[in-house]
Amino acid sequence: MKILIIEDDKIKIDKLTSFLSNNDFDLRESFQSGLDALKNSQYDLLILDMTIPLWEKVNNDINQNYEQFGGEKILREMKRKKIIVPVILFTMFDKFPIGSDVLTFEQISHKYKENFDFYIGSVYYDSRNDDWKSNLLSLIENINYES
């Protein structure tokens, strides 16, 4: 399986790539590079972080322009450009502040299931346990690929 991972957290990248080591995968660490990869290559699966920088990190740039809902922007661009690849959201945040409100992990996932046909589900990453592995594997195993 060819997988695109759009993720910028080095620990999560290491955990994901180790867990998925028997697959062929590409790694991108920003909105722009991830979108470019989706436009220029074919993938069987996208594993997508929610909060990603707009651009790849240059040298030791610590003032990156992070996009809280960068993952959602990727989903919207995929829908607009008709890039149909199954997507699993992979995040370590369980709450997402929006102004004075807060959206939960479950609310975000429900919203995406309603709005994006290619959205498969979400996995909450917690470094203190490995539950994310079985959750991710279950979602991957239940993807229906049409031949």
Residue 125 to residue 94: CA distance in whole angstroms: 9
Cβ distance 92 to 127 under 8 Å? yes
Q: Please name each of the domains of the chain with its CATH number.
A: 2-141 (3.40.50.2300)
Ranges of residues in the chain with a pLDDT under 50 are 59, 146-147
Q: Tell me how crowded residue 6 is: count the other CB atoms within 10 A of its CB.
A: 25
pLDDT tens per residue across span 13-23: 999 999 999 99
> What residues form DSSP beta bridges with 28?
6
pLDDT at 77: 95
pLDDT of residue 139: 94
Check residue 103 and give left, alpha or beta (phi > 0: left; psi -120 to 50: alpha): beta
pTM (predicted TM-score):
0.85
Closest CA to 108 of 118, 63, 99, 98: 98
pLDDT tens, position by position, 29-39: 999 999 999 99
